[in-house]
Amino acid sequence: MDENFTIPKHVAIILDGNGRWAKLRGLPRSMGHKEGCKVVEQTVEDAARLGIEYLTVYGFSTENWKRDAEEVGALMMLFRYYMKRLLGIAKENNVRVRMIGDRSRFDEDIIEGLNALEDETAMNTGLTFVIAVNYGARDEIRRAVTKIAEEVREGTLAPEEITEKTISDHLDTAGMPDPDLLIRTGSEMRLSNYLLWQNAYAEFYVTDVLWPDFNRAELEKAIENYNGRERRFGGVIKK
Ligand code: IPE
Ligand code: IPE
Ligand code: MG
């Protein structure tokens, strides 16, 4: 990749197409998810090497619970396995892991695994890898509004003091910069309830590549495309 390229500080990814990838090969959908997990691991390493500061990957949405029990079960088993592997990868690559979404709906052992991933990597100073599981932006905003309402009820916050920053600070992504580049694999051009507030000004890159086929070259292609954009915020060009 051209060394003069600007590396986006925060890259958000909607990984999609695992099911289609498996179907094309006559395999069960769960095999697509398994391949997809390997690609997540590889992408964490690639992002760390490229100097990306924040990588936010959408792994399981609040809507994904509606899928067949068999598929949801297979995804939970994969989480269990890959959470443990991810801990090793995070340690090796100085990666800090953070989870966004509502973890309370998961089984106890998965919650413990997510907590351990965050706690044991909290002191790492490289890439922040954010995994969005049981995540839905509307649910995140609803939870933020509840927290803000409680502060108002307790008298620690006045309604007229609520700013955009107050809202950002109560979202799961509190303290993180907004995404600069949003990548979606699998060709669909929709947000699917992902980071609705935070993606207000993200540059959107959609590729036909299915998630299990995504790799470092594809990530670099997205960054190259991002470098060709003229970023505007309300008509003002950002240098
Ligand atoms: C993305 O792949 C993974 C999850 C949402 C868990 P899909 O499972 O949505 O794959 P397609 O879109 O059906 O191909
Ligand atoms: C988006 O993929 C959610 C995740 C990647 C976790 P979906 O396949 O669930 O989204 P839709 O149904 O195409 O919008
Ligand atoms: Mg899909």
Nearest residue by C-alpha to atom 1 in ligand 1: 16
CA-135 nearest atom, ligand 2: 6
Is 134 marked active-site? Answer: no
**Mutate which of 20, 39, 189 to test ligand 1's pocket (most atoms within 8 Å of Cβ)?**
20
pLDDT value at 137 more than 90: yes
**Mutate which of 20, 23, 61, 75 to test ligand 2's pocket (most atoms within 8 Å of Cβ)?**
61
The verdict on residue 192 lying in a domain is yes
Residues touching ligand 1 (Cβ under 6 Å) are 15-20, 60, 64, 75, 186
pLDDT mean across residues, the chain: 97
Proportion of the chain above pLDDT 70, given as a percent = 100
Name the domain count of the chain: 1
How far is Cα 98 from Cα 95, in angstroms, rounded to an integer?
A: 10
The verdict on residue 142 lying in a domain is no
The response to whether residue 58 sits with its C-beta less than 6 Å from ligand 2 reads yes
| Candidates 4, 64, 109, 215; catalytic one | 64
Instruction: Note the pLDDT tens digit of each residue in 159-201.
Output: 999 999 999 999 999 999 999 999 999 999 999 999 999 999 9
pLDDT value at 238 more than 80: no
Q: What is the pLDDT of residue 185?
A: 98
Q: What is the pLDDT of residue 239?
A: 62
- Residue 211 belongs to domain with CATH number: 3.40.1180.10
The verdict on residue 144 lying in a domain is no
**Residue 183 CB neighbour total at 10 angstroms:** 28
Mean pLDDT in residue range 138-150: 98
Q: How far is the CA of 214 from the centre of ligand 3 (A)?
A: 15
The response to whether residue 109 sits with its C-beta less than 6 Å from ligand 2 reads no
| Domain interval for residue 43 | 10-135+178-234
The verdict on residue 158 lying in a domain is no
Instruction: Note the pLDDT tens digit of each residue in 22-67.
Output: 999 999 999 999 999 999 999 999 999 999 999 999 999 999 999 9
The verdict on residue 4 lying in a domain is no
Nearest residue by C-alpha to atom 6 in ligand 1: 60
Mean pLDDT in residue range 105-112: 97
59 close to 40: Cβ distance less than 8 angstroms: yes
The verdict on residue 95 lying in a domain is yes
Q: What is the pLDDT of residue 2?
A: 85
**Residue 238 CB neighbour total at 10 angstroms:** 9
Burial 168-181, CB ≥16 within 10 A → b, else e: bebbbbeebebbbb
Q: How far is the CA of 18 from the centre of ligand 2 (A)?
A: 10
